[in-house]
Amino acid sequence: MHMLAEQILQKDIRALARAITYVENDHEDKLALMSDLYPATGKARCIGITGAPGAGKSTFVNRLIDYLRSLDLRVAVCAIDPTSPFSGGAILGDRVRMAKHFTDPKVFIRSMGTRGSLGGLSRTTKDVIKIMDAFGFDVILIETVGVGQSELDIMKVADTTAVVVTPGSGDVIQVFKAGIMEIADLFVINKADLPGVGPLHAQINAMLDLAKDHEAWRPPVKRVSAAKNEGIAEFWAACEAHAAYLLESGEGMKRRRRNKEREILEIIQDEASRRIEQFFIEEKEHIAASSLDPYTLAARLVDKWFQNQEKEIMQKNGEL
Ligand SMILES: Nc1nc2c(ncn2[C@@H]2O[C@H](COP(=O)(O)OP(=O)(O)OP(=O)(O)O)[C@@H](O)[C@H]2O)c(=O)[nH]1
Ligand SMILES: [Mg+2]
């Protein structure tokens, strides 16, 4: 077993941080490490929290950490900001806000930006979540700004996804537009201390009547004030209810199976593209010297690549 994997399973927090760096840097040991950790995964509850910039996600996450710690659960947070070039530590505002948790060994907070995600932010994040899971956190909170495709993709790994909206922001239209409806298991009206909560709640209900009327799970709508620390326990109760639904309906198993399939495809694509790039570099002189048009040349290179692969396999099997 990889040494880092062993240390992680023994709850060495420094090894956890180092393993995450391995994943971010696409270290050559990454696949071996992930494969060693895999048997220890699948135990954590993964909660996605998404919403427009400034909706209060980080404030909410911070309150949720407090609440989960009061239940003596170990909590990891993965905060994803695709617009930020920074990763590693926490983004400045969040760092200040979450500072008190930094001394708690049962809380681990990691921010992910585009830099240091050589394998792509979505891929990297999924591996980071697996490492956190293997380490033994009970709950993993994933915070993302709900905009792009890659974040929708990340949210699919969550067992429960909460969409945070706020009064007076026009969020509801965004929710409809961005295809967030498909991934929403729960709605959080944050900033419920501000005016306009009633109409927003009614709007969400109307939207759910349209989109989720025939579904087995109708996403509950929870009013929260992260600023005032209100509604957090009720939110967690709704997460628990969703977890029970996932278990009883078999939907949870289905989701995990679907995720695993998607993940295998991604790993294959990753590995294939890595090898093809290597091949491309080896062929560079050849390519530069060629007078063929790019399409014909590319088609020939693909053929050559496959032939090389075949040869390699035969050599490995002792057939050549
Ligand atoms: N009135 C009110 N303000 C809140 C509440 N929760 C958060 N805020 C404020 O909303 C602002 C944004 O909060 P953040 O927690 O940084 O929001 P975010 O969604 O994490 O923002 P990004 O990470 O930038 O997308 C801050 O000024 C918070 O103090 C709330 O319940 N009520
Ligand atoms: Mg935030």
* pLDDT tens readout for residues 225-251: 999 999 999 999 999 999 999 999 999
219 pLDDT exceeds 70?
Answer: yes
The answer to whether residues 140 and 78 touch, using CB atoms and an 8 Å cutoff, is yes
- Looking at residue 32, what is its pLDDT? 94
Burial of 174 (0-12, 13-18, 19+ CB in 10 A): middle
Q: Are residues 62 and 164 in the same domain?
A: yes
Q: Are residues 106 and 227 in the same domain?
A: yes
- d(CA 29, CA 4) in angstroms, rounded, equals 10
Query: What distance in angstroms lies between residue 80's CA and the mean position of ligand 2's atoms?
Result: 8
Which of 196, 227, 249 is the endpoint of a domain? 249
Helix, strand, or coil here: 275? helix
- Looking at residue 172, what is its pLDDT? 73
65 pLDDT exceeds 90?
Answer: yes
Q: Which amino acid type is present at position 206? A: A
Say yes or no: CB of residue 166 within 6 Å of ligand 1. no
Question: What residues contact 268, with CB distance under 8 A and at least 6 apart?
Answer: none
Which of 223, 249, 275 is the endpoint of a domain? 249
Which ligand is the nearest neighbour of the Cα of 54? 1
Q: Are residues 76 and 167 in the same domain?
A: yes
Q: Which amino acid type is present at position 48? A: G
Rounded mean pLDDT of the chain? Answer: 88
Each residue of 276-288: pLDDT tens digit? Answer: 999 999 999 999 9
Q: Are residues 210 and 299 in the same domain?
A: no
- d(CA 152, CA 122) in angstroms, rounded, equals 9
Query: Which secondary-structure segment (H or E) carries 161?
Result: strand 160-165
The answer to whether residues 67 and 236 touch, using CB atoms and an 8 Å cutoff, is yes
- Nearest partner of 181 among 150, 141, 209, judged by Cα: 209
Query: What distance in angstroms lies between residue 189's CA and the mean position of ligand 1's atoms?
Result: 12
Where do we find the tokens 């954590």? 44
Say yes or no: CB of residue 147 within 6 Å of ligand 1. no
Q: Are residues 121 and 215 in the same domain?
A: yes
- Looking at residue 151, what is its pLDDT? 73
Confidence of residue 82 (pLDDT cuts 50, 70, 90): low
Q: Are residues 3 and 96 in the same domain?
A: no
Higher-pLDDT residue of 318, 40: 40
- Looking at residue 291, what is its pLDDT? 94
Q: Which atom of ligand 1 is nearest to the CA of 53?
A: 25
193 pLDDT exceeds 70?
Answer: yes
Q: Are residues 4 and 65 in the same domain?
A: no
Which of 227, 249, 271 is the endpoint of a domain? 249
Mean pLDDT of 209-214: 85
* φ, ψ for residue 56, nearest 5 deg: 100, 20
Distance of CA 29 to the CA centre of its chain: 21
Q: Are residues 2 and 101 in the same domain?
A: no
Q: Are residues 30 and 178 in the same domain?
A: no
- Looking at residue 86, what is its pLDDT? 52
Structure tokens at 222: 């929870």
Confidence of residue 84 (pLDDT cuts 50, 70, 90): low
Burial of 125 (0-12, 13-18, 19+ CB in 10 A): buried
DSSP letter at 69 equals H
- d(CA 19, CA 113) in angstroms, rounded, equals 17
What's 62's domain CATH number? Answer: 3.40.50.300
DSSP alpha helices (H): ranges in the chain? 3-9, 13-24, 30-37, 57-70, 92-97, 121-135, 149-155, 171-177, 197-211, 232-249, 251-282, 284-289, 294-316
Structural domains of the chain, count: 3
Where do we find the tokens 């905060």? 79
Domain, as residue range, for 289: 258-316
- d(CA 111, CA 105) in angstroms, rounded, equals 17
Confidence of residue 255 (pLDDT cuts 50, 70, 90): very high
Q: Which atom of ligand 1 is nearest to the CA of 79?
A: 23
Confidence of residue 156 (pLDDT cuts 50, 70, 90): confident
Q: Which atom of ligand 1 is nearest to the CA of 226?
A: 31
Which ligand is the nearest neighbour of the Cα of 190? 1
Whole-prediction pTM: 0.88
Q: Are residues 126 and 137 in the same domain?
A: yes
Q: Are residues 211 and 283 in the same domain?
A: no
- Looking at residue 252, what is its pLDDT? 93
- Looking at residue 37, what is its pLDDT? 97
Query: Which secondary-structure segment (H or E) carries 20?
Result: helix 13-24
Q: Are residues 35 and 87 in the same domain?
A: no
Say yes or no: CB of residue 225 within 6 Å of ligand 1. yes
Confidence of residue 178 (pLDDT cuts 50, 70, 90): low
Each residue of 115-152: pLDDT tens digit? Answer: 655 667 788 889 999 999 999 999 999 998 866 677 77
